[in-house]
Amino acid sequence: MEPPSYRNVVILNSSGENIDSRLLERAVRETLQRHEAPAGDVSVLLTSDEVIRDLNSRFRGIDEATDVLTFPTGSELLGSLGEIAVATDYAARQAALRGWAPEEEIAHLVIHGSLHLAGFDDVEEVLRAEMLREQNSIAASLGLPQDPEWSSLLHEVTA
């Protein structure tokens, strides 16, 4: 079965940072095509820690910033697969801890969010390990660094 080919990937950059949207579009498309996700539009919002904190509080009841949030819609009627929000400042701090460029961390976060849209989950350790293997495989195909122990580092630092 050939994967769906219609995907409108929109990168909304309100962060003020100069980020290569082509890399992020490729990350979304590669991830969803690998997993034969339904066709549909995907929006990626690059934003501030404050906006992410507000979204995290409103939709998850957690009043703190985070690196990435994913909002699957899966609505064929609306033609939308979902939305991904990335806090670019948060990502830059994590990238510094990893020794990566901020854009590389943001691309990992977009892959991670896209995997959630494709049906992956990371609630249980076995599922997280599977998701992480796939995230690193996709990152490698895009020429990005890999980290077999990748996680949201800043959550670990503050926990």
The domain limits of the chain are 9-145
pLDDT of residue 123: 87
Looking at domain 9-145, does it have CATH number 3.40.390.30?
A: yes
pLDDT over 60 (residue 156): no
pLDDT over 50 (residue 159): no
The long-range contacts involving 92-100, CB below 8 angstroms and separated by at least 24 positions, are 93/154, 94/67, 94/152, 94/153, 94/154, 97/153, 97/154, 97/157, 98/145, 98/147, 98/153, 100/145
pLDDT, tens digit, for every residue of 21-78? 999 999 999 999 999 888 889 999 999 999 999 999 999 999 999 999 999 986 666 6
- Please state, in angstroms and rounded to a whole number, the distance separating the CA atoms of residues 69 and 116: 10
pLDDT, tens digit, for every residue of 88-146? 999 999 999 999 999 999 999 999 999 999 999 988 989 999 999 999 999 999 999 99
- pTM, two decimals, is 0.90
